[in-house]
Amino acid sequence: MWFFLLSDAFTFGALLIVYGLSRHKHLPYVGDPEAFTFSTQWWPIPEKVFNAFPGLHGVDLPLAFVALMTMILILSSVTMVLAVEAGHRMDKNDVQKWLLWTILFGSIFLGCQAWEWTHFIVGDDTGMVLGDGTRVFGASLTVNQYGPPLFADLFFFITGFHGTHVFSGVVLLIMAFINTVNGVYHKRGHYEMVEKVGLYWHFVDLVWVFVFTFFYLI
């Protein structure tokens, strides 16, 4: 498992390198952050892009939603360790309980990401005025209202690839949960499979820590 995770880390490392390269290839925004406007001339400031929250239309809440997502994922990591710890004690009920919490938090994270993507694709009310006077709203692979096309492409690719990992993680967790309920691991005498799924799950959390820093903060 560890070596699979290492190879996966290489893949994510490559994606983040591409992000760094493309970002440096474009001009940074140098003016006053208060006066920032979206433009294809410069790379957008992430706080100005990710500032929406479900149910609070038009309110400027920079990074609030992504903070919530980060907390949910860290919390799911904690419930996962608790499941592994319960497995060490051969406590079947506790393993079930904590696996279920982890599945719940993982699914909530996926739901949040679905909302985040929808908002990113649909865009806000203002949009961006192009050189020929037309307005673009939201984002597609060729054009987006936030900045250079590469910005949206990398957003889709990096968070999408991470989301796929979360999704596979949830599927693995559900499989582990079913096996636990059926007593497969208890009969086997150890909960090592829960531990392996746990390793994968923590890795997904770890990747998010990096994606969060490089995509949303810097």
Partner 1 sequence: MAMHTDHSHDYENTGELPKPQTKAIWKTFIILVVLTAIEFVFAFMMDAGTLRNSIFIILTVFKAFFIVSEFMHLKHEAKALIWSILLPTALIAWLMVALISEGSYYFDSVVNYFN
> Interface with partner 1 includes 45 (CB under 8 A)?
yes
- Minimum CB separation of residue 137 from partner 1 in Å reads 26
> Is residue 13 involved in binding partner 1 (CB under 8 A)?
yes
Contacts of 133 (CB under 8 A, 6+ apart): none
HSE-CB at 22 with a 13 A cutoff on CA atoms is 18
- Return all residues near 116 (Cβ < 8 A) that are at least 6 apart: 50, 65, 66, 69, 159
Q: Which two tokens stand for residue 64?
A: 């609030």
Nearer to partner 1, 64 or 136 (CB): 64
Residue 48 touching partner 1 (CB under 8 A): no
With CB under 8 A as the contact rule, the residue among 4, 21, 59, 141 that binds partner 1 is 21
CA 125 to chain centre: 25
Helix (H) or strand (E) holding 185: helix 184-188
User: Is 188 an interacting residue with respect to partner 1 (CB under 8 A)?
Assistant: yes
Determine the Cα–Cα distance for residues 19 and 158; give it in Å rounded to an integer.
9
Candidate ranges 7-15, 50-58, 133-141, 158-166; the one touching partner 1 (CB under 8 A): 7-15
Estimate to the nearest angstrom the gap between the alpha carbon of 1 and the chain centroid. Answer: 22
Site for partner 1 in 74-113 (CB under 8 A): 74-75, 77-78, 80-82, 85-86, 89-91, 94
**62 near partner 1, rule: CB under 8 A:** yes
Single residue of 4, 6, 60, 140 touching partner 1 by CB under 8 A: 6
As given in the structure block, the two tokens for residue 171 are 């599927």
Which stretch, 68-76, 120-128, 140-148, 163-171, contacts partner 1 (CB under 8 A)? 68-76
> By C-beta, is 175 or 192 nearer to partner 1?
192
Under 8 Å between Cβ of 102 and 117 = no
Report how far residue 61's alpha carbon sits from residue 126's, in angstroms, rounded to the nearest whole number.
Answer: 16
Residues forming the site for partner 1 (CB under 8 A): 2-3, 6, 9-10, 13, 16-17, 20-21, 24-25, 33, 45, 47, 62-63, 67, 70-71, 74-75, 77-78, 80-82, 85-86, 89-91, 94, 186-190, 192, 199, 202-203, 205-206, 209-210, 213, 217-218
